[in-house]
Structure 1
Amino acid sequence: MGNSFSVPAKTKGEIIVTLVGFGVSLVPAYYIFNTLLKRLDPTDSEKKKSEAIAQKMIERLGICLEEPLSEYELCIASNLVDTNSMVIEWKDIGGLEHIIEEINEVIILPFTRPDLFSSSELLQPPKGVLLYGPPGCGKTMLAKATAKASGARFINLQASALFDKWYGESQKRAEAIFSLAAKLEPTIIFIDEIDAFLRARNTNDHESTAMVKAQFMSLWDGLTTDASHKILIMGATNRPMDVDPAFRRRMPCMLQINLPTESEREKILQVVLRNEDITNKASVVKEMAANCDGLSGSDLKELCRHAALFRVRDYINNEPAAREMVGEANPVLRKMNLQDFKRALEKFRNMSLLSGLFSLEMHTAEDN
């Protein structure tokens, strides 16, 4: 007979009790460790806040999902925008008719009339659109109007929603951008100041940053990208050459928004001043458009604001008691006139000159 080894029943019971006790002790240890980890994570409260914002926005937009969103998708979903609440429309943008026409053809129609683009591969919309040009020329306004007109879900992607201090978390968030966009399609992902996020790669890049950029690029337009998804990346920048060439290639539709010409300035002023009470409005608009060379659309709006303030100043100077009065029923302000705009232009030029001198002094100090 061969020798056989058997464990006494008492020993078996002790082993089982020991294993059970060890397993039970792991449960509180796990929860203690998890609690400590969350307390040590300074971004935990921000994550919870983002999830709450995301859930609220999803309910507000009436989005019905077949499967729940992951915690990473919820983090990105906090950047969703309710396009119905946007007040910017095409009629609010002056002097950019040619850009608006191209946006309608390249972005809006493929989303609203996909049947027109299904007959040929050459008619497929681009994966990305880049708006570039000097500051204050209407790039962000165009993005807002595009979001409203397209009827697509709009994600205003913030860099803070993508990058995480923990290793590997940022890559998961990059993946969540596209998985969320696919669940909500058609989707427009807007990245303002895209040059800061997708800057040209170099050997000095941190390993984590390089990995996030590579993954973002692969998910955007790589071997495994599903071409049937209706996802568009729209970027805006003042420095297009700072954007990585590989990302620029994925944005074949590049729309340059320059400083407005005289005729474009006239159209911008007509939009800005359409509801204002001005003496000889048509001649004022025409003359100011001719005299405001080099000003952007944003500059023109600020100039008009300065001009409007002169009415308030004159009212207070003519009615000393008005400064102390609160909640006056209907203060009667005079009409704006050409002189208001000339004074505003002179003030604006002086402010711009001071700003330029300050900038020059700062650069000189840095060089020294």
Structure 2
Amino acid sequence: MIQIPQDETLLSDWKQHLDQDIETLKYQANISNIRNVLNRIELHCPDIETLCIKDQTLTNESVEKMIGWALSHHLMHSSESSTKDGKLVISSESISYGLNILQGIQNETKSVRNSLKDVVTENEFEKKLLADVIPPSDIGVTFDDIGALEHVKDTLKELVMLPLQRPELFCKGQLTKPCKGILLFGPPGTGKTMLAKAVATEAGANFINISMSSITSKWFGEGEKYVKAVFTLASKIAPSVVFVDEVDSMLGRRENPGEHEAMRKMKNEFMVNWDGLRTKDKERVLVLAATNRPFDLDEAVIRRLPRRLMVNLPDASNREKILRIILTKEELDPNVDFEAIATMTEGYSGSDLKNLCVTAAHCPIREILGMEKKEKALAISENRPLPALHDSSDIRPLNMDDFRYAHEQVCASVSSESTNMTELLQWNELYGEGGSRKKTALSYFM
């Protein structure tokens, strides 16, 4: 055990040496990490040792981004490209350029977090809500993480991101006022919550997630004050996205005779504050709601959600896109056929496809564990020392047999012929984007 010096002079020297050792370790770890990434992508930096990165420990993800920016800088500013041992040579100057971009983004992230800490709250409700606000840099979901849904993503970019990012373009006239309410509806597991998070990330907006379950568990009896605090806080930390999950359970039809008086008051308070938000043209706050049952919503709520986008089950080509994104960081056997997997997963939602891939990914691990069990039993029977355990490098790539096995275990969670699905499609025809608006009677013989 290291004894800490008691003398102040010795203690000061000891701390100084300790700080220097920590900086040296960070420097060595960063250089090693950068060199590994460069080798992996066939790049070489002869003067890499001149990079002095001691103030932080870079993650693999950070280094990959930094090298990407460095390579772009090199290709744009270097008239001649040289190689060594078959690897493209880039200078430490280009890597420093990538590092500067990385540090700039990290500093911007820190400033956003600090700005949230500096928000002055008026009451305990705002204070507690502020602790649950997610800054855009921490959400961790972008549109690139969502396979398919191109039409929905394009519409959201036009309706949400542009007004939040470029408000000066939407201040002329009355018809281009930013939309204050958007509804995402569709069967479970199709990516509605991910879309909401991606909107906040891409638009650089703070994310406030509210649901009926959070209100009843934390704020029951004080729902009105909670709802008011949601809107006052959202205005203070604008641009912001107020995401109302399970909106049908919170803002369902008000003519329900068995509804509690407290719930009715809370709904009315939500409507009043929402209307106040809609009258403020320059308020950069959006209410984004999601539901599996839009037909249960109060008509006043539907009116306040002028844009209603159905997030439907993906077709075969979109399932293939989703699978490619889910499996982008997995090691796959060359025989893995994305098109074949997409074809055999008819009716699967994005969530179902994720579960399918997780189940498939456990197959090689299960094989390793079975092999270890046999090796252990054989060693015991032969009175030999137990063999060493396998590590991640021994796990084989995923193959088509794994996905066929997973397909037998994981089925679609939503039936395309279910009553709920039929009602969703009919509601979309009446109220959704691009619907025919033709009313058709719901058949009871299905």
Q: Specify the TM-score bucket, using the shorter chain as the normaliser.
A: 0.7 to 0.9
Rounded Cα–Cα distance in structure 2 between residues aligned with 1:107 and 1:289: 31
Question: Can you list the C-alpha shifts for 1:305-335, whole angstroms capped at 9, x where unaligned?
Answer: 1111111122233343479888755441222
Residue aligning to 1:332: 394
Contact persistence 1:79–1:158 (CA under 8 A): no
Name the amino acid aligned to 1:266: E
Aligned residues: 295
Contact persistence 1:79–1:157 (CA under 8 A): no
Rounded Cα–Cα distance in structure 2 between residues aligned with 1:341 and 1:223: 49
Q: 1:304 aligns with which of 333, 357, 363?
A: 357
CA RMSD of aligned residues (A): 2.9
Unaligned runs of 5+ in 2: 1-109, 378-385, 419-446
Higher relative contact order (CA 8 A, sep 6+): 1
Residue aligning to 2:320: 266
Residue aligning to 1:214: 268
Question: Can you list the C-alpha shifts for 1:50-99, whole angstroms capped at 9, x where unaligned?
Answer: xxxxxxx9994423757543222223323311321222211111011111
C-alpha deviation, 1:351, in angstroms = 9.5
Unaligned runs of 5+ in 1: 1-56, 357-368
Contact persistence 1:110–1:125 (CA under 8 A): yes
- Describe the SS at the equivalent of 1:119: coil
Q: 1:101 aligns with which of 120, 129, 154?
A: 154
Residue aligning to 2:404: 342
Residue aligning to 1:251: 305
Question: Can you list the C-alpha shifts for 1:23-66, whole angstroms capped at 9, x where unaligned?
Answer: xxxxxxxxxxxxxxxxxxxxxxxxxxxxxxxxxx9994423757
- Describe the SS at the equivalent of 2:187: coil
Name the amino acid aligned to 2:172: S
2:174 aligned with 1:174: no
Residue aligning to 1:28: none
Contact persistence 1:188–1:232 (CA under 8 A): yes
Residue aligning to 2:206: 153
Go from structure 1 to structure 2 and tell me whether the alpha carbon gap of 1:326 and 1:350 turns closer, same or farther (over 3 Å shift): farther
Rounded Cα–Cα distance in structure 2 between residues aligned with 1:58 and 1:197: 34
Find the structure with the greater CA-based Rg: 1
Contact persistence 1:131–1:237 (CA under 8 A): yes
Residue aligning to 2:123: 70
C-alpha deviation, 1:187, in angstroms = 1.7
Name the amino acid aligned to 2:405: R
2:366 aligned with 1:313: yes
Go from structure 1 to structure 2 and tell me whether the alpha carbon gap of 1:347 and 1:325 turns closer, same or farther (over 3 Å shift): farther
Question: Can you list the C-alpha shifts for 1:164-186, whole angstroms capped at 9, x where unaligned?
Answer: 444xx332222222111222222
Contact persistence 1:75–1:161 (CA under 8 A): no
Contact persistence 1:133–1:257 (CA under 8 A): yes
Matches within 5 A, 1:90-239: 90-159=143-212, 162=215, 164-166=219-221, 169-202=222-255, 203-221=257-275, 225-239=279-293
C-alpha deviation, 1:194, in angstroms = 1.0
Residue aligning to 1:51: none
- Describe the SS at the equivalent of 1:234: strand
Go from structure 1 to structure 2 and tell me whether the alpha carbon gap of 1:122 and 1:326 turns closer, same or farther (over 3 Å shift): farther
Rounded Cα–Cα distance in structure 2 between residues aligned with 1:228 and 1:274: 40
Go from structure 1 to structure 2 and tell me whether the alpha carbon gap of 1:63 and 1:330 turns closer, same or farther (over 3 Å shift): closer
Contact persistence 2:352–2:412 (CA under 8 A): no
Contact persistence 2:188–2:414 (CA under 8 A): no
